Chains A and B, each alone.
Chain A
Amino acid sequence: GAGVSQTPSNKVTEKGKYVELRCDPISGHTALYWYRQSLGQGPEFLIYFQGTGAADDSGLPNDRFFAVRPEGSVSTLKIQRTERGDSAVYLCASSLGGRDTQYFGPGTRLTVL
C-alpha cells in the first residue's frame, strides 16, 4: 500500500519568506508526527497530532513554526519568516495509534538562503 508521502521533496527559499510543507499519512492512521533532522544528527521531534488536534507541540522551536491537520489526515507544517538556521530535512511520520510503529516519509529538504 501507499506509504507516507511528503511534498515538495526539496524547497529552496530566501530568508524571511513563508513556507508550507505537506504530509500525506498512511490512510487510516490517526497519529501524525513531524520531526526535523539537521545534518549529521538524528531526527528531532517537533509536534504530534492525534486526529485533528495537536496533542503535543513541545518540540516546536518558536512561534514561527505552526502545524495543522484540519481533517485528521493531511498535515501542513508552516514556517513564517524563515531563517538560515531553519535549513534541515523535515520528516513526517504516521502510526495507527499513538503507541504504534511509526512509518516515515522521505522528508522535505528545506534550504533557506
Chain B
Amino acid sequence: DAKTTQPNSMESNEEEPVHLPCNHSTISGTDYIHWYRQLPSQGPEYVIHGLTSNVNNRMASLAIAEDRKSSTLILHRATLRDAAVYYCILRDSGGSNYKLTFGKGTLLTVNP
C-alpha cells in the first residue's frame, strides 16, 4: 500500500477552521484517499473519501491537489467533539482493497 505522511499533532481553537494535511507522493491512479478519525476510547469513524475532485459532506471537506500527491481535510468550524486522531489512508479501488492500512495519524487538540 502506498504510504501517507501526516503531522504528529495539530492544535486549533473552537469554532475556527482546521486544515489537516496529508502527503502521499507515491499514490497510484487507482488509489482513493480516505479519512477516518478516532475519538478517545472509540473505534475509528469514517469521515470522507475522494479520488480526484474535491468532496464535501456534513462532517468535512476534502481538498485534493491537482497532482494528487497531497490532500487536506478541512473542518469548517472545529468543536470540542472534533478532538481526535485523524488518519489519512490510501485505498486501492482494485482487487485487494478490502483492508485499511493506518499510520499514526494526526492528533488534533481543540482549545475552548
Please give the residue numbers on chain A whose beta carbons come within 8 Å of chain B beta carbons, in ascending order: 4, 31, 33, 35, 40-45, 48, 50, 55-56, 59, 91, 93, 98-99, 101-107
Are B101's CB and A93's CB within 8 A? no
Residue in contact with A33 in the complex, picked from B42, B46, B99, CB distance below 8 Å: B99
- Complex contacts, B101 vs chain A, CB 8 Å: 45
The CB with the most chain A CB atoms within 10 A, among B46, B103, B104, is that of B46
| Complex interface: chain B residues within 8 A of A56 (CB) | 96, 98-99
List chain A residues, Cβ under 8 A from B41. Answer: 106
Q: Name the residue among B43, B45, B46, B93 with the largest chain A CB count within 10 angstroms.
A: B43
A33 in contact with B98 given A42-B103, A42-B105 (CB within 8 Å): yes
Binary interface profile of B, 78-112, with partner A (CB < 8 Å = 1, else 0)?
00000001010000010011111111110000000
CB of A59 within 8 A of CB of B99, answer yes
User: How many residue-residue contacts, CB under 8 A, span A and B?
Assistant: 55
Q: Are B99 and A41 in contact (CB under 8 A)?
A: no
- B44 proximal to A (CB < 8 A): yes
- B binding-site residues for A, Cβ under 8 Å: 41-46, 49, 85, 87, 93, 96-105
In the complex, the answer to whether A104 meets B43 with C-beta atoms within 8 Å is yes
Q: Which of B43, B97, B99 sits near A45, CB closer than 8 Å? A: B99
Complex CA–CA separation, A42 to B88 (angstroms)? 11
With contacts A41-B104, A42-B87, A99-B93 taken as known, whether A91 is within 8 angstroms of B99 at the C-beta atoms is: no
Q: Tell me if B104 and A98 are in contact (CB < 8 A).
A: no
A99 with B43: in contact, given A40-B104, A42-B102 (CB under 8 Å)? Answer: no
Q: Which residues of B contact A102 (CB under 8 A)?
A: 44, 46, 100
Set of chain B residues within 8 Å of A44, measured between Cβ atoms = 102
Q: Chain A residues near B49 (CB, 8 Å)?
A: 101
CA distance A42 to B36 in the complex (A): 11
User: Is A99 a contact partner of B100 (Cβ separation < 8 A)?
Assistant: no
Q: Which one, B44, B96, B103, B104, contacts A91 given CB within 8 A?
A: B44
Closest beta carbon of chain A to B17's beta carbon, Å: 25
